[in-house]
Amino acid sequence: MRKVRLTIDITLGEDGSFRTEMIEVTNMDILGLQIEELLVHVNPTKIYRARVYNLLLNCDCRTIGEILERTRLEFLHSKNAGAKTVAALERALGYYNLTLKS
């Protein structure tokens, strides 16, 4: 698997306050653990929602689907992604809209 850089926006309350963290994923087997470690430092009891952004968009759609399934986080493509890439992701992911289970 190629290295994938993910940005995670963590919403800390219904008032919309949030912080942004970034991790680099090099191994799908430890992705869940990486995200879990990141969220523990934030204080999970205060997390209202978390969103993951794939900044590089250089991995295949199957890999992104696995990221969604394993982390149960929302996926949002970056705003500067090409239209073909976005269309391919939308087809492959079936417009997933997954949220972090509290």
**Which tens digits make up the pLDDT trace of 34-73?**
666 666 666 555 555 555 554 334 444 455 555 555 544 4
Average pLDDT over residues 8-34: 66
Q: Look at residue 98 and tell me if it is in a domain.
A: no
**Residue 17, CA distances (Å) to 20, 57, 86 in order:** 11, 27, 28
**Residue 102 is assigned to a structural domain of this protein:** no
Residue 101 lies inside a defined structural domain of this protein:
no
**In contact, 60 and 35? CB cutoff 8 Å:** no
Query: For residue 100, is it within any domain?
Result: no
| pLDDT at residue 96 is higher than 50 | no
Within a domain: 74: yes
Answer yes or no: is 21 within a domain.
yes
Strand order across the 49-54 sheet: 18-25, 4-11, 49-54, 74-77
Confirm whether 53 is domain-assigned.
yes
Strand 74-77 to 18-25 pairing: unpaired
- Split into its structural domains, the chain has a count of 1
**50 within some domain:** yes
* Cα separation, 6 vs 63, whole angstroms: 13
* Residue 42 structural domain: 4-93
